[in-house]
């Protein structure tokens, strides 16, 4: 059976908002989904604990792209503490719901964002960099 996405999910998958790289990011975080290998990288610009700018790059399925994209809109302007608390369920709700089998796809963006925030809290831009 074909997977049913909401119109909003399809829109964000086809026209992702905030997609791309921020060269002078305050912090970045990258996470891969161990089940499928899809990955997301989040770039943050943080000033006074507020997320002033955020972009993402996702190499993955439509649900992962849409989830990561809408997540960037949900947390822009929030404090890093507020952003850290956003769950994959909240992301899926914002998209109008995700099919059960695609729920895990909203995780990569959330985890990449949390990793970037952890790097920011630890005073490093990217803990994967040599």
- Phi/psi at 45 (5° precision): -115, 115
Rounded to 10 degrees, the C-alpha dihedral 86/109/93/62 comes to: 170
Q: How far is the CB of 77 from ligand FES (least distance, A)?
A: 26
Other C-beta atoms lying within 10 Å of the C-beta of residue 64: 25
Q: How far is the CB of 105 from ligand FES (least distance, A)?
A: 3
Alpha helices by DSSP H, 15-100: 62-75, 80-84, 88-94
Q: 105 catalytic, yes or no?
A: yes
| Nearest residue (CB) to ligand FES, 14 versus 52 | 14
Q: 61 catalytic, yes or no?
A: no
Q: How far apart are the first and last CA of the chain?
A: 45
- Residues of this chain that bind ligand FES (CB under 6 A): 33, 36, 38, 60-61, 63-64, 105, 108
Q: Which of 36, 59, 81, 96 is catalytic?
A: 36
Assign 42 to helix, strand or coil.
Answer: strand
Q: Which of 31, 105, 116, 117 is catalytic?
A: 105
The CA distance from 39 to 87, in Å, is: 17
| Nearest residue (CB) to ligand FES, 83 versus 108 | 108
Q: How far is the CB of 28 from ligand FES (least distance, A)?
A: 19
Q: How far is the CB of 111 from ligand FES (least distance, A)?
A: 11
| Nearest residue (CB) to ligand FES, 46 versus 91 | 91
Known catalytic residues are 36, 105
């Amino acid at each position: 059976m074909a997977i049913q996405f909401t119109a909003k999910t399809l829109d964000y998958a086809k026209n992702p908002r905030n997609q791309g790289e921020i060269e002078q990011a305050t912090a970045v975080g990258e996470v891969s989904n161990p089940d499928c290998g899809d990955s997301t990288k989040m770039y943050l610009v943080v000033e006074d604990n507020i997320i002033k700018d955020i972009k993402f790059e996702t190499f993955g399925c439509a649900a992962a792209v849409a989830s990561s994209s809408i997540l960037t809109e949900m947390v822009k302007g929030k404090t890093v503490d507020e952003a850290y608390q956003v769950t994959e369920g909240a992301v899926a709700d914002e998209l109008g719901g995700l099919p059960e089998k695609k729920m895990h796809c909203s995780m990569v963006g959330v985890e990449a964002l949390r990793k970037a925030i952890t790097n920011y809290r630890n005073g490093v831009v990217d803990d994967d960099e040599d």
